[in-house]
Chains A and B, each alone.
Chain A
Amino acid sequence: MLFNSYIFIFLFFPLCITGFYALTMWEKPDIAKAWLIGFSLWFYGYFSPSYLLIMIISIVSNYALTRVIRKHPNTKAPLTVGVIFNLSLLGFFKYLDFMISNLNFVLGTQIPLKNILLPLGISFFTFQQIGYLADVYKECKEEVCIECKDNGTGKSDRFIDYALFVSFFPQLVAGPIVTKKEMFPQFATLSGRRPDAEKIGRGLTLFILGLSKKVLIADAFGRAVDIGYSSIATLGRLDSFLVMIWYTMQLYFDFSGYCDMARGLAGMLGFELPVNFDSPYKASDIVDFWHRWHKTLTAFFTKYVYFPLGGSRKGTVRTIINILIVYFLSGLWHGAGWNFVFWGMLHGVAYAVVRTIKRRSEAGNIKELTGLNGENRQKIKSKYNLLQRLSRIVSHTATFLYVSFAWVFFRASSITEGWALIKNMFTGTSTGINYALADAFARIDELWYIVKFSGLPNVNFPLAHNLVMILFTLCALIVVFAAPNAAEISGKIRPRVSGAICIGLVGIWCVLSLSEVSTFLYFNF
């Protein structure tokens, strides 16, 4: 089931939240948890009932493994088995065909691909469970685990909590990836939980803002991007550049919109999920970008891969290698293809370079400033401020362009296709914008009215379409660069009538956008 569907908005969630609060107010926390688990299974099974079995097996197996870890805190074997089990599950469903095609390429074999259907969200719930196993192991090692001390008889995470932790529908299929520490304390406070008007109001606002990011903005960019990527050979320089920027916009509004919806839903139920996107395109450099983009994944890799590899404690070279390993894995996690690995490595290399430069520059600045007297230090600081402002503008722009450039390979079906688009930006024709691309924006229903009332169609129809496209793109760019993000807006919004009406209207506009009239080209049969 999708958040952006009629069934979710009009049936699933209203039923879920009503039953949930009825149970918590009745002081039946376990039944309330079971209620949420039941709804989560419905949510997940709605995509495909066969997915459910895979998720249930994964949950039960991992829970059993945590019991083993707790009983044998002095050996790492159960944790290793758990990690291997989870990665194998992920490997089988996500990477088997990728491995086979690579084998076929290298060895010249013709092993048929398995075409296994990838269960939705498997990358998320697998990583979340690996994180959980590692956390339990660490707790046991540090002897903070009550159960270990009590030799397996004391209190520990209960199965119902664990099942809810993994299956909790708001963050099940696309994150944010949550940790034991973030969620379990919240599960302990269900008894007597009453609906909190402020949390529900802010959550509802965040959900609607996220929904609008997805269905009103991301999907509009998506239509143009699809046209662009399906006809790369015909794109000119400007076309190719715009397609790159539009995909950058689409991905952000889509993914962050989904996470906003997830946080909004959880918030309405009284749970807090971590922020996953913090205006990432406002980043001043690539290091900053990764502190703002998909933060929970970055946190996962930092905690469970980068630190265990030694982090930055083993010298510059080893730090760089560790960074590259993390981004290699991050690329692979995002998709089973060399284009994803390439995308990951583009970020890894940039991250390592920028991080190294920043460290040296910071050290140099401190050294320079500490060697000066008060007056000179002030002068130097002013000089730096001016320079910093200029360099920040350059740095922001360069970061955005580099990130956009890397996204080309993320969206392309192969590295070759990605390069074809990049190459077009420099060697393509320099004529105006491909009409089909501009037309993709003119097909946004609302914009027909703008075009119509602008009076431009009577003068110049293509110009009107280009104008609509430019306006839409510019507005989106302003939103990502200058406006507060959805989390900030929902966090600060005051409960005013005008605000409620506006958000209510945006909400219904999104609902009206959930279904489209199917249109196809009827020219040939």
Chain B
Amino acid sequence: MYNKENMQIDKSGFKKYIIILVATGLVAAVLCAALVVYVDPFFHYHTPLKGFAYEVDNQLSQNPGMAAHMEYDSVILGSSMTVNFDTDWFYEEMGLNTIKLPYSGAYPKDISNIMSVIFETHPDVSRVFLGIDVINYSSDKDQIKFPLPEYLYDDNLINDINYVLNKDVLLNYVIKPVISPDATDLSNVYASWWTDEYYNINYVLPNYLAEYVPNDPVPDELPKDYFEEQICVNMEENIVPFIESHPDTRFTVFYPPYSILFWNDCRNQNKTEATLYEYEVISRILLEYDNVDIFFFADEEEIITDLNNYADYTHYHPRYNHYMTGCFADGTDQVYSMDDVYKHIDHMRDIATDFDYEDLLKQGW
């Protein structure tokens, strides 16, 4: 119980109490921040420390730092269609020191955001490999897939407090790698979790059908040019400025090979022609530039009609990433003119319209 004397002691004791409490908090905060800055698991301030087992698994948080502070002369950009590229292949096939900076579900604005960092810090980057998912290029020009941790994308030191005083960063990316080191192999960073057995029609089809709702009646066909205007806006705002302002950088753009189920969705929504036209619009814009190469993999019939090559309706086996890397090196499937583009589109149309979808789908019902 308190008496008067105790009260007096407490009064003066509380001054000391406050000082120790605040000092403990501040010292601990400074120590934590110093540790994060020193290790810098998101590469926000410096290049990686030698010998530290960095864990790289967060595209939103770690891509900008890797883009800014790692050494490379070429870069792979795009959505989850690009996560299974192995950068060692790029060295073996083309002698390139490549870094992979994908954003799953990337919209053009996501690509633009990371390209800004790349060209600001590495203006002499020689190659940019860009996977284009046409369906995402008709989005709003400012749309991004996930909210970005802005503090890792701007130059504001004050908001870096979100990074340096962050328990997630400290425990999962600084201390955990010390206790349980499992350094990420950057050549294969962000690779998908599907192991070989998942690339199987018996896995793909039931999952697809679980969410597939056949439209009955089939909706009116989408006008062919339905997406054109927005695609042009996106290209002009988010992609073309980088191509124009870096004439010495070679932009290798490619259209990934989605499975036939993707085209079944287009058929179901009656937008096959509008989707095919997206390829035409984007290609026409890009072929204007001498520093752009286009590779058309979307109509790789042997790949796309066999669901054993996929883990879901669009995600193909990593061996096709390897195949595409070879194509980038030797020019297979490259298109040089709109005539080439039309040939691929016509081929794709033939596949998409002639395929026996009902026969395929009934295997999974």
Partner of B16, one of A495, A504, A505, A518: A495
Cβ contact within 8 Å between A501 and B80: no
B209 CB, min distance to chain A CBs, angstroms: 16
Most buried by A among B166, B167, B312: B167
Given contacts A515-B166, A522-B80, contact A495 B10 (CB under 8 A): yes
A520 to B145 CA separation, bound complex (whole angstroms) = 10
In the complex, which residues of chain A have a beta carbon less than 8 angstroms from the beta carbon of B312?
523-524
A201 to B20 CA separation, bound complex (whole angstroms) = 11
Chain A 471-525 residues near chain B, CB threshold 8 A? 494-497, 499-501, 503-505, 507-509, 511-520, 522-525
Cβ contact within 8 Å between B170 and A520: no
Mask for B17-33, Cβ within 8 A of A = 1, else 0?
A: 11011111100110010
Chain B 92-124 residues near chain A, CB threshold 8 A? 104-106
Cβ contact within 8 Å between B21 and A508: no
Partner of A524, one of B105, B161, B176: B105
Closest to A203 in B: B18
Report if B147 contacts A (CB, 8 A): yes
Report if B81 contacts A (CB, 8 A): yes
Cβ contact within 8 Å between A520 and B180: no
Cβ contact within 8 Å between A516 and B81: no
Given contacts A445-B172, A524-B312, contact A517 B24 (CB under 8 A): no
Report if B61 contacts A (CB, 8 A): yes
Chain B 30-53 residues near chain A, CB threshold 8 A? 32
In the complex, which residues of chain B have a beta carbon less than 8 angstroms from the beta carbon of A449?
171, 179
Report if A381 contacts B (CB, 8 A): no
Closest to A202 in B: B14
Given contacts A197-B11, A500-B21, A515-B166, contact A505 B28 (CB under 8 A): yes
Cβ contact within 8 Å between A508 and B20: no
In the complex, which residues of chain B have a beta carbon less than 8 angstroms from the beta carbon of A452?
179-180
Cβ contact within 8 Å between B21 and A516: no
A496 to B9 CA separation, bound complex (whole angstroms) = 11
B139 CB, min distance to chain A CBs, angstroms: 12
Interface of A is mostly: helix
Given contacts A452-B180, A496-B17, A525-B81, contact A512 B170 (CB under 8 A): yes
Report if B149 contacts A (CB, 8 A): yes
Partner of B20, one of A198, A497, A517, A525: A497
In the complex, which residues of chain B have a beta carbon less than 8 angstroms from the beta carbon of A517?
58, 61, 149, 166, 168-169, 172-173
Closest to A499 in B: B17
Cβ contact within 8 Å between B80 and A524: yes
Cβ contact within 8 Å between B190 and A10: no
A516 to B29 CA separation, bound complex (whole angstroms) = 16
Closest to A506 in B: B25
Cβ contact within 8 Å between B147 and A518: yes
Cβ contact within 8 Å between B106 and A525: yes
In the complex, which residues of chain B have a beta carbon less than 8 angstroms from the beta carbon of A10?
161
Partner of A504, one of B20, B59, B145: B20
Cβ contact within 8 Å between B13 and A495: yes
A524 to B149 CA separation, bound complex (whole angstroms) = 21
Cβ contact within 8 Å between B29 and A448: no
Partner of A522, one of B59, B147, B171, B180: B59
A451 to B18 CA separation, bound complex (whole angstroms) = 35
Cβ contact within 8 Å between A522 and B169: no
Report if B165 contacts A (CB, 8 A): yes
A173 CB, min distance to chain B CBs, angstroms: 22
Cβ contact within 8 Å between B14 and A200: yes
Cβ contact within 8 Å between B171 and A6: no
Cβ contact within 8 Å between A508 and B24: yes
Could you say which interface size class chain A belongs to? 35 or more
Given contacts A10-B161, A445-B172, A525-B81, contact A520 B60 (CB under 8 A): yes
Report if B12 contacts A (CB, 8 A): yes
On chain B, the number of residues with a Cβ less than 8 Å from chain A's Cβ atoms is: 56
Report if A204 contacts B (CB, 8 A): yes
In the complex, which residues of chain A have a beta carbon less than 8 angstroms from the beta carbon of B106?
525
In the complex, which residues of chain B have a beta carbon less than 8 angstroms from the beta carbon of A508?
24-25, 28-29, 32
Report if A446 contacts B (CB, 8 A): yes
Mask for B186-213, Cβ within 8 A of A = 1, else 0?
A: 0000101100000000000000000000
In the complex, which residues of chain A have a beta carbon less than 8 angstroms from the beta carbon of B29?
508, 511
In the complex, which residues of chain A have a beta carbon less than 8 angstroms from the beta carbon of B190?
522
In the complex, which residues of chain B have a beta carbon less than 8 angstroms from the beta carbon of A522?
59, 80, 83, 104, 190, 192
In the complex, which residues of chain A have a beta carbon less than 8 angstroms from the beta carbon of B136?
525
A414 to B315 CA separation, bound complex (whole angstroms) = 38
Cβ contact within 8 Å between A518 and B149: yes
In the complex, which residues of chain A have a beta carbon less than 8 angstroms from the beta carbon of B315?
524
Most buried by B among A6, A448, A518: A518
B113 CB, min distance to chain A CBs, angstroms: 14
Partner of A201, one of B14, B146, B162: B14
Report if B314 contacts A (CB, 8 A): yes
In the complex, which residues of chain B have a beta carbon less than 8 angstroms from the beta carbon of A518?
58, 60-61, 146-147, 149
Closest to B169 in A: A517
Mask for B71-85, Cβ within 8 A of A = 1, else 0?
A: 000000001110100
In the complex, which residues of chain A have a beta carbon less than 8 angstroms from the beta carbon of B180?
452
In the complex, which residues of chain A have a beta carbon less than 8 angstroms from the beta carbon of B146?
518, 520
A448 to B161 CA separation, bound complex (whole angstroms) = 24
A400 CB, min distance to chain B CBs, angstroms: 31
Cβ contact within 8 Å between A200 and B168: no
In the complex, which residues of chain A have a beta carbon less than 8 angstroms from the beta carbon of B173?
517
A197 CB, min distance to chain B CBs, angstroms: 4
Mask for A264-304, Cβ within 8 A of B = 1, else 0?
A: 00000000000000000000000000000000000000000
Chain B 140-185 residues near chain A, CB threshold 8 A? 145-147, 149, 161-163, 165-173, 176, 179-180
Cβ contact within 8 Å between A495 and B14: yes
A204 to B149 CA separation, bound complex (whole angstroms) = 30
Given contacts A512-B170, A515-B166, contact A501 B24 (CB under 8 A): yes
Closest to A496 in B: B17
Given contacts A448-B171, A515-B165, A517-B149, contact A504 B14 (CB under 8 A): no
Report if B15 contacts A (CB, 8 A): yes
Report if B86 contacts A (CB, 8 A): no
Cβ contact within 8 Å between A448 and B176: yes
A376 to B18 CA separation, bound complex (whole angstroms) = 57
Cβ contact within 8 Å between A6 and B162: yes
A519 to B146 CA separation, bound complex (whole angstroms) = 9
A505 to B13 CA separation, bound complex (whole angstroms) = 19
Cβ contact within 8 Å between B14 and A501: no
A71 to B191 CA separation, bound complex (whole angstroms) = 75
A503 to B136 CA separation, bound complex (whole angstroms) = 50
Cβ contact within 8 Å between B10 and A504: no
Cβ contact within 8 Å between A511 and B58: no
Closest to A216 in B: B167
A519 to B169 CA separation, bound complex (whole angstroms) = 12
Given contacts A495-B17, A514-B165, A525-B80, contact A504 B28 (CB under 8 A): yes
Q: A198-B14, A508-B25, A515-B162 are in contact. List 17 more A-B contacts (CB 8 A).
A: A197-B15, A200-B18, A448-B172, A449-B171, A452-B179, A497-B16, A497-B17, A500-B18, A504-B24, A515-B166, A520-B104, A522-B83, A522-B104, A523-B193, A523-B312, A524-B312, A525-B105
7 nearest A-B pairs in the assembled complex, by CB-CB distance: A504-B24, A495-B17, A495-B13, A525-B105, A500-B20, A197-B14, A201-B14
- Contacts from A to B (Cβ < 8 Å): 6, 10, 197-198, 200-202, 204-205, 445-446, 448-449, 452, 494-497, 499-501, 503-505, 507-509, 511-520, 522-525
- Contacts from B to A (Cβ < 8 Å): 10-18, 20-25, 28-29, 32, 58-61, 79-81, 83, 104-106, 133, 136, 145-147, 149, 161-163, 165-173, 176, 179-180, 190, 192-193, 312, 314-315
Q: Could you list some 13 contacts between A and B, CB below 8 A?
A: A198-B14, A448-B172, A495-B13, A500-B21, A501-B20, A505-B25, A508-B28, A512-B165, A515-B162, A517-B169, A525-B81, A525-B136, A525-B314
